[in-house]
Structure formats: C-alpha cells, structure tokens
Amino acid sequence: MKTIIADAVAVGLMLALTTAANADHTRHHRNYDNYSETYPSATPRQLQNLRGYERSEYYEHDSNAVPFGSRVWWELKQGEGH
C-alpha cells in the first residue's frame, strides 16, 4: 500500500514538473516591426509610405503621408521650403 501511494505521489510530481517546464515553451512571441516601434504614433498609411521610401518603391510625396521626424519627412519638408 505504501509503495502504491509513493508511486502515485512520484508520478504526480513528475507530471506537475513536466507540465510547468512545457508551459514555458508555449509563450507567445511578439512579431517585432522596427518601423512601428520607432514611430509608434504613425498610421498604417504612413508606415507603408516609409517602407516604400526605404525600398526605393512608390511612396506618396507628401510630408503628411510619412511619419513625423523620419528621414523622408525631413527631405520632403526641405523640398517644400518650410
């Protein structure tokens, strides 16, 4: 009888420890986006235009359509004469 109880406790402890160890691997990993972290107040439209500028693709040439303070914003503001 003591052997059965000891075995049941041992199995219960092993199950509890392995469950706790496996729970650590099920964490949700955040998808990092450097643009949205650098410019947290930027709208999706502004981030899309910033990515287009960085990739030498099409982007709107409007200082309101890119994140404030970004490199492209400064270039557009300089071109506007402000």
Boundaries of domain holding 76: 42-80
Per-residue pLDDT reduced to its tens digit, 41-59: 899 999 999 999 999 999 9
Low-confidence ranges of the chain (pLDDT < 70): 19-33, 82
Q: How many domains does the chain have?
A: 1
**Residue of 54, 58, 57 lying closest to 67 (CA atoms):** 54
Tell me whether residue 63 is in a domain: yes
DSSP string of 9-77? HHHHHHHHHHHHHHHGGGPPPP---HHHHHSTT--HHHHHHHHHHHTT------GGGS-TTSHHHHHHH
Tell me whether residue 32 is in a domain: no
First-to-last alpha carbon distance for the chain, in angstroms, is 88
